[in-house]
Chain A
Amino acid sequence: MFKEIIKGMAITLRYGLSRPITVQWPEEQKPATPRHRGRHILHRYYNGLEKCIGCELCAAACPVGCIYVGPAENDPLNPVSPGERYAKRYEINLMRCIFCGYCASACPTEAITLGPQCDFANYRRERTVLTKQELLEAWPKFERSRGDMNQRGAGADQRSTGKSLNPGPSPRLAWEAQADETHEAPLPGHGGIPVNVPGVIDPSEESRA
């Protein structure tokens, strides 16, 4: 019996003298793993337009119903996101969220990902509902740096392409730029039509001739 006590105390001693694995959070931070599913981030394109188009597929995929999206129509001259639609309101209730990442999987534009941040403790209940402004990436990025908050989180790597999507001009803008030719077939280079399509003769050349 005496022998067992010594054996046990030896283990205690051994661990007592080794380096502790406890991290002194929040003074000390551990790097998050690449696919860590923490607080959500709404991303932007390189030109500052929001990736979110307000389609509400994240809200539809959400198993706990913690996402609220209030879509609205883009002002073609001052668009918030590429295309016709954007999210005017985007709210996530972190009290309800189970961080499953379904929203990121459902997103057709890779607008939402789950980031590295996981400390949301708060003294005020209403602060746990994140608004769009809080979720959105800073723009321009240097203006309001949030460190590695802006890194791409879980969900981004679930895509097969890995290429960043080119937002291009707002299709509606492109259409209106054609002024009185709205009822004509689209010109190459506009409305998402590539310029170099073999076999297409640009009818605009004719009008210039």
Chain B
Amino acid sequence: MANKTTTPSSSEGLAEAEKVTVTIDGREVAVPRGSLVVDAASSLGIHIPIYCAHPKLDPVAVCRMCLVRVGKMPRLQPACATVVSDGMVVTTQSPEVAKVREGMLEFLLLNHPLDCPVCDRGGECDLQDFAVRYGPQTSRFPITQKSHAAKAVVLSDKIELDQERCILCWRCTRYYDEITGEKELVLVRRGIDTVIDSFNGEPLTSDFQGNLPEVCPVGALTHRQYRFQARPWDLQRTKGICPECSYGCNINIDARDFEIKRFASRDNPQVEDMWLCDRGRYSVEKWSHGSRVRHPLIRAGGEVREVGVDEAVAEAARQLGEVLRLHGGGAIGVIGSPMLTNEELWLLQRLARETLDCHNCDHQLDELGNVSADEHSLGIAEIEDCETVVVLGAEPEANTPVLTLRLHKAQLRRGVEVRRVEHDASPASLGIKGKRLVGVIADEVHRAYAADMADALASGNTLVKRLTVTRGVNGRGAKDMGMLPTQGPGYSRVTGGKDGRQILHAASAGAIKALLLVGAETVLRGAGILAEKALAKVDVIIAIEPRAGIVANAASVVIPGHTYFEKRGSVTNVEGRVQRVSPALPPATAAPQETRVLAMLAAALGATGWGTGDPFEVNTMLSQAIDAYRGAGNGGRALWKRQGEPR
């Protein structure tokens, strides 16, 4: 564990770590003391084939694939478990090493079934790749004498195991040991009979099973959801952010034929550390189904008319303008959604506050009073630097499951004390005293408890940082952008308005005459009967909505929206990390993206200086308006000044 160098640490000592010089294949390289030979080789661009070693797991050296000649050692050494020393001479490309690799591959392929054509891993399989690159061209053993094991063993509703294909690298068992700590998979029996299995063949119950096929170097563990969906070379890969929660896990979106087939992890050590939860990973199917709004519609007098975007925007502006003229901005309610990008949210609140003179804008239903940037001062990777982390209630880990893995890692590797307590636990009863850095994690509904806890714990030299788990992929961004009834962009003070639920109450009571809803279908569904009453009562409903549903059915003007995977922009995760998203699918509509529609709407309402509504242009404008976003770029954290410090 001590010689792991793969995890970048925020401590400064590592940067000045002592370097040692090693010679690999005649080339010299200086690497930090304690590095492994395999890492030193990869820094030179020298590839050493390995199955058992994994950058996030401790070395075990069981696959014997990475054997290399090290100095004058009598036998070949495993590169994945040998620590470099000064003046070490390593040879990875000699007839001796090549012969061992060839022998090892012949051994691994001895009982490996020849079902690459039907294997989901075929095309991205280490065994295939290394066999082609380093392996023997033919086998000396007849195919009829292969030993057989169970195929297509259903480990759970998510994972399928092919015991024949398994090369016993232990990666899955070590994943369960080191990353989740659940130990659901073990090696059963021994010798030729060794297989991977769960206890008594019982189904796996972990929430993080989807990572198993990803750590598996061969096709032994495969996704049931992705089973026989596509070949790796069919897939179009787009970098994206997981849509399920606000943790902001980096993913690769693999699509085929305009349908998302799977989410694969895209390692970002600062966020998800390459591990995804099953809720996020297997949410794929949601995005390929459901009926869509494809054309702008105007609903008048019981008739629905398909129109062009220009006409729909003009009609929307006319209807909103009329309500504004007759009843004022207080009679308009604007509801967005935490699924919108920062650019859309910023334009939406700007449209509400500047053009419509309306302060009733929210991105969700609950009352969230006095939100501040302080509540997400703790970074995800910073959890490992804390001495103690207090988690209030079960919601933070239920809402953002990958947080559990980070807490486990912090506990296991850094000895962080993790305290899981009730929301209203008294700070004194925890007995946390004299710590340097304490983290307090809560969900956004129980923010007040976290604030009290943080205040009580902060004393003397103890620095308390908070992390508040928001709901929806861009719940944090919506707050940063000021899509709140009481706070504007950058948590600035503004004239207070109604929150989401109050808007709906006022609408059903007749006090609010017009609603502007952008992607609000899911938010309104959460309000149940109240939303239906409000939608039935209000005459002027302008909706920009991707999916058919209660909003699109009730709106007087519907402009087709784009789903999360069809648009360009940026989203902000729980810790304030601003990450870009780009379209993984072609849009289901010819209507322009929401930012452009909002800019058109503002122009039609007589506003000037809005530009074209291009997402990049909007991004530039919002970074100028909100200080913290200026330095965030793509993938950086929006760093806010702490409360009390001069702005």
Residues in chain A within 8 A of chain B (CB atoms): 53-57, 59-60, 71-73, 83-85, 108-109, 171-172, 175, 182-183, 185-186, 191-194
Q: Which of the segments B63-71, B223-231, B571-579 contacts the partner chain?
A: B223-231
Please name all residues of chain B whose beta carbon is closer than 8 Å to the beta carbon of A186 when the two chains form the complex: 148-150
Rounded to whole angstroms, the CA-CA distance of A188 and B153 in the bound complex is 19
Please name all residues of chain B whose beta carbon is closer than 8 Å to the beta carbon of A192 when the two chains form the complex: 148
Please name all residues of chain B whose beta carbon is closer than 8 Å to the beta carbon of A172 when the two chains form the complex: 151-152
Residue in A109, A175, A194 whose beta carbon sits within 8 Å of that of B150 in the complex: A175
Say whether B197 faces chain A, with CB atoms less than 8 Å apart. Answer: yes
Instruction: Output the least CB separation between B90 and chain A (Å).
Output: 37
Interface positions of B from 424 to 478, Cβ below 8 Å from A: none
Say whether B201 faces chain A, with CB atoms less than 8 Å apart. Answer: yes
Please name all residues of chain A whose beta carbon is closer than 8 Å to the beta carbon of B201 when the two chains form the complex: 182-183
- 19 A-B pairs within 8 Å (CB atoms) are namely A53-B117, A55-B117, A55-B118, A55-B122, A56-B231, A59-B231, A60-B233, A71-B228, A71-B230, A72-B228, A73-B227, A84-B118, A84-B151, A85-B118, A85-B228, A175-B152, A183-B150, A183-B197, A186-B148
Residues in chain B within 8 A of chain A (CB atoms): 115, 117-118, 122, 144, 148-153, 193, 195, 197, 201, 227-231, 233-234
Evaluate whether A84 and B231 lie within 8 angstroms (CB atoms) in the complex, with A55-B117, A55-B118 already known.
no
The answer to whether A56 touches B228, judged by C-beta atoms less than 8 angstroms apart, is no
The answer to whether A175 touches B197, judged by C-beta atoms less than 8 angstroms apart, is no
Rounded to whole angstroms, the CA-CA distance of A74 and B117 in the bound complex is 15
Further 13 A-B residue pairs, CB within 8 A, beyond A84-B151, A182-B153: A53-B117, A53-B118, A55-B117, A55-B118, A56-B231, A57-B117, A71-B228, A71-B229, A72-B228, A73-B227, A175-B150, A183-B195, A185-B193
Instruction: Output the least CB separation between B462 and chain A (Å).
Output: 53
Please name all residues of chain A whose beta carbon is closer than 8 Å to the beta carbon of B234 when the two chains form the complex: 56, 59
Rounded to whole angstroms, the CA-CA distance of A105 and B419 in the bound complex is 62
Residue of B with least CB distance to A178? B150
Please name all residues of chain B whose beta carbon is closer than 8 Å to the beta carbon of A182 when the two chains form the complex: 150, 153, 201
Instruction: Output the least CB separation between A63 and chain B (Å).
Output: 14
Query: Which A-B residue pairs are the 4 nearest by beta carbons?
Result: A55-B117, A85-B118, A71-B228, A56-B231
Please name all residues of chain A whose beta carbon is closer than 8 Å to the beta carbon of B227 when the two chains form the complex: 73
Rounded to whole angstroms, the CA-CA distance of A14 and B115 in the bound complex is 63
The answer to whether A83 touches B118, judged by C-beta atoms less than 8 angstroms apart, is yes
Please name all residues of chain B whose beta carbon is closer than 8 Å to the beta carbon of A84 when the two chains form the complex: 118, 151-152, 228
Instruction: Output the least CB separation between B401 and chain A (Å).
Output: 28
Residue of B with least CB distance to A88? B228
Residue of A with least CB distance to B201? A183
Instruction: Output the least CB separation between A162 and chain B (Å).
Output: 17
Instruction: Output the least CB separation between A186 and chain B (Å).
Output: 5
Rounded to whole angstroms, the CA-CA distance of A120 and B547 in the bound complex is 42
Rounded to whole angstroms, the CA-CA distance of A60 and B231 in the bound complex is 9
Rounded to whole angstroms, the CA-CA distance of A83 and B230 in the bound complex is 17
Instruction: Output the least CB separation between B514 and chain A (Å).
Output: 47
Rounded to whole angstroms, the CA-CA distance of A41 and B607 in the bound complex is 64
Rounded to whole angstroms, the CA-CA distance of A109 and B115 in the bound complex is 11
The answer to whether B151 touches A175, judged by C-beta atoms less than 8 angstroms apart, is yes
Residue in B151, B193, B195, B229 whose beta carbon sits within 8 Å of that of A171 in the complex: B151
Instruction: Output the least CB separation between A58 and chain B (Å).
Output: 10
Please name all residues of chain A whose beta carbon is closer than 8 Å to the beta carbon of B153 when the two chains form the complex: 182
Please name all residues of chain A whose beta carbon is closer than 8 Å to the beta carbon of B152 when the two chains form the complex: 84, 172, 175
Residue of B with least CB distance to A89? B257
Residue of B with least CB distance to A70? B257
Residue of A with least CB distance to B234? A56
Please name all residues of chain B whose beta carbon is closer than 8 Å to the beta carbon of A72 when the two chains form the complex: 228
Instruction: Output the least CB separation between B246 and chain A (Å).
Output: 34
Instruction: Output the least CB separation between A179 and chain B (Å).
Output: 13
Rounded to whole angstroms, the CA-CA distance of A138 and B97 in the bound complex is 54
Residue of B with least CB distance to A182? B150
Rounded to whole angstroms, the CA-CA distance of A98 and B193 in the bound complex is 49
Instruction: Output the least CB separation between B149 and chain A (Å).
Output: 7
Residue of A with least CB distance to B188? A183
Rounded to whole angstroms, the CA-CA distance of A150 and B231 in the bound complex is 30
Instruction: Output the least CB separation between B200 and chain A (Å).
Output: 9
Residue of B with least CB distance to A86? B228
Rounded to whole angstroms, the CA-CA distance of A55 and B152 in the bound complex is 17
Residue of B with least CB distance to A72? B228
Rounded to whole angstroms, the CA-CA distance of A73 and B195 in the bound complex is 24
Instruction: Output the least CB separation between A52 and chain B (Å).
Output: 10
Please name all residues of chain A whose beta carbon is closer than 8 Å to the beta carbon of B144 when the two chains form the complex: 194
Instruction: Output the least CB separation between A61 and chain B (Å).
Output: 11
Instruction: Output the least CB separation between A174 and chain B (Å).
Output: 9
Please name all residues of chain B whose beta carbon is closer than 8 Å to the beta carbon of A194 when the two chains form the complex: 144
Instruction: Output the least CB separation between A142 and chain B (Å).
Output: 31
Residue of A with least CB distance to B193? A185
Rounded to whole angstroms, the CA-CA distance of A71 and B122 in the bound complex is 14
Residue of A with least CB distance to B192? A185
Centre residue among B152, B153, B228, B229 by max chain A CB count within 10 A? B228
Rounded to whole angstroms, the CA-CA distance of A112 and B148 in the bound complex is 29
The answer to whether B117 touches A108, judged by C-beta atoms less than 8 angstroms apart, is yes
The answer to whether B148 touches A193, judged by C-beta atoms less than 8 angstroms apart, is yes
Rounded to whole angstroms, the CA-CA distance of A18 and B233 in the bound complex is 57
Instruction: Output the least CB separation between A86 and chain B (Å).
Output: 8
Residue of B with least CB distance to A174? B151
Centre residue among B149, B151, B227 by max chain A CB count within 10 A? B151
Rounded to whole angstroms, the CA-CA distance of A185 and B164 in the bound complex is 11
Please name all residues of chain B whose beta carbon is closer than 8 Å to the beta carbon of A53 when the two chains form the complex: 117-118
Rounded to whole angstroms, the CA-CA distance of A17 and B568 in the bound complex is 75
Please name all residues of chain A whose beta carbon is closer than 8 Å to the beta carbon of B231 when the two chains form the complex: 56, 59-60
The answer to whether A73 touches B228, judged by C-beta atoms less than 8 angstroms apart, is yes
Residue of B with least CB distance to A191? B148
Residue of A with least CB distance to B122? A55
